[in-house]
Amino acid sequence: MKTTNFIPSITVAVLLGLSAGVHLPASAVSTPITEQAEPEKGPHNGRMLREGSFALELAIFETGVPPEFRVWLTDNKNPINPDDVELTVTLTRLGNVIDDIKFISQSDFLRGDMEIYEPHSFIVTVNASYQGKKYRWQYDNLEGRTKIEPAVADAMAIETAIAGSQKLHQTIPAYGQVWLPPSAHRTVFARFEGVITHLNVKLGDKVNKGQTLMTIESNESLNPYEIKSPIAGFVAKQMANSGEQTNNRELLVITDASQSVVKLAVYPSDYSKVSQGTLVSIKAEGSLVNTAGKVSFIEPKVRSDQARMVWVTLAQQAEPLLEGSFVKADIETASFEVPLAVKKIGLQSFRDFTVVYAKVADEYEVRMLELGRSDATWVEVLGGLPAGTEYVTENSYIIKADIEKSGASHDH
């Protein structure tokens, strides 16, 4: 087991911040101190603790079993019967979390009664009693931990969140185009042929349903009559002007852009995941805003590339998507609550683990995660992180760099 001094190091974040001209107080920068010599190792690769002729070797054993403490005892270098020694080990973890470990005799060693869960980062306090004499040792065994002053964390935009329950939305991607169905367009004709005496709208004007578009004087009766808009929308085409004869032709086309539909291509591997009513999030090319919709129709045929066209009806929106726009969509295939999740952006690698960095005051330490289901933003946590933990989200790579710089390692 290797003892690593806890050194509030000058993080890479500080150096970057200083080079960018960010002013940091003097207290935000710490001076590294010299690391102590390697502790003495015993024959079982554990840490040797000695006082007078009495010695014990404390090792974390994890071959074929979850990590646990094992202790071998000697007096004047001669093995001691484990039954003759009373021993307790207290581990004080970040945030003053205490693990009290008791020991039972097994073969020629003492075996701890609880798993030493990751991270193996704690202050170790050892209390032993042998032949009426008490012994006590204490040392730091820290890994995956660093300290960053609040001013530095603020300067480097390190952000945190509280781990808790979350609703996950699993999706499949799809691409398509905005399309207007025939019902979105109305062509305006004159009921009776005549002269357009007043044209009240022009190309591009917005109109309301029932609004007067023009007045026509009938050629037969010479009486005027009005043509009103059959729908709300805008004047998409203007083929006539005031003073002209109607001549049994198209005069205007009114288009209701709010009826826009998105047609998405869905390929065979995803056919079974999409049905009517499925929720869809859509983003048009060049837009920063997501538009919500639902699958309203699935065409009963396939294209030459074997894609089926899925129609998505959009929710009411202030600015309708433009006809012909290319879009990217996320079609929701599952939605479920999980009791604990973290943001994917906060994940980093540490040894063979995927981790987040827990924050306690101005100290940060790895938390090894057991992960479950995920969506584009969140990932379910099955183990390794208590609910309510504050953890780093944005710029977690800075914490990783600082920990790697400090050299805190995992060594039994």
pLDDT digits (tens, 9 = 90+) for 368-405: 999 999 999 999 999 999 999 999 999 999 999 999 88
Kindly tell me if the per-residue pLDDT of 407 is higher than 80: no
pLDDT at 234: 95
Q: Hey, which bits of 94-238 come out as E strands?
A: 97-106, 109-112, 122-130, 133-141, 145-147, 160-162, 164-179, 185-188, 194-199, 206-207, 212-218, 224-228, 233-238
As a whole number, mean pLDDT of residues 339-367 equals 97
What is the 8-class DSSP label of residue 41?
B
Kindly tell me if the per-residue pLDDT of 17 is higher than 80: no
**How far is residue 49's CA from residue 55's CA, in Å, rounded to a whole number?**
6
Local confidence band at 205 (pLDDT 50, 70, 90 cut-offs): very high
Kindly tell me if the per-residue pLDDT of 3 is higher than 70: no
Local confidence band at 15 (pLDDT 50, 70, 90 cut-offs): very low
**Contact of 36 with 23, CB cutoff 8 Å:** no
Among 196, 232, 238, 191, residue whose Cα is nearest residue 214: 196
As a whole number, mean pLDDT of residues 18-41 equals 50
C-alpha torsion 113→116→122→127, nearest 10: 20
pLDDT at 319: 73
pLDDT at 25: 41
Kindly tell me if the per-residue pLDDT of 251 is higher than 50: yes
pLDDT at 2: 42
Would you state the structure tokens that stand for residue 102, as one six-digit string? Answer: 């008791």
**How far is residue 335's CA from residue 112's CA, in Å, rounded to a whole number?**
43
As a whole number, mean pLDDT of residues 344-368 equals 96
Local confidence band at 165 (pLDDT 50, 70, 90 cut-offs): very high
**How far is residue 172's CA from residue 192's CA, in Å, rounded to a whole number?**
54
Kindly tell me if the per-residue pLDDT of 243 is higher than 80: yes
User: What is the percent of the chain where pLDDT is above 70?
Assistant: 89
Local confidence band at 6 (pLDDT 50, 70, 90 cut-offs): very low
pLDDT at 258: 85
pLDDT-wise least confident of 30-39, 244-253, 342-351: 30-39
What is the 8-class DSSP label of residue 274?
-
Local confidence band at 360 (pLDDT 50, 70, 90 cut-offs): very high
pTM over 0.75: no
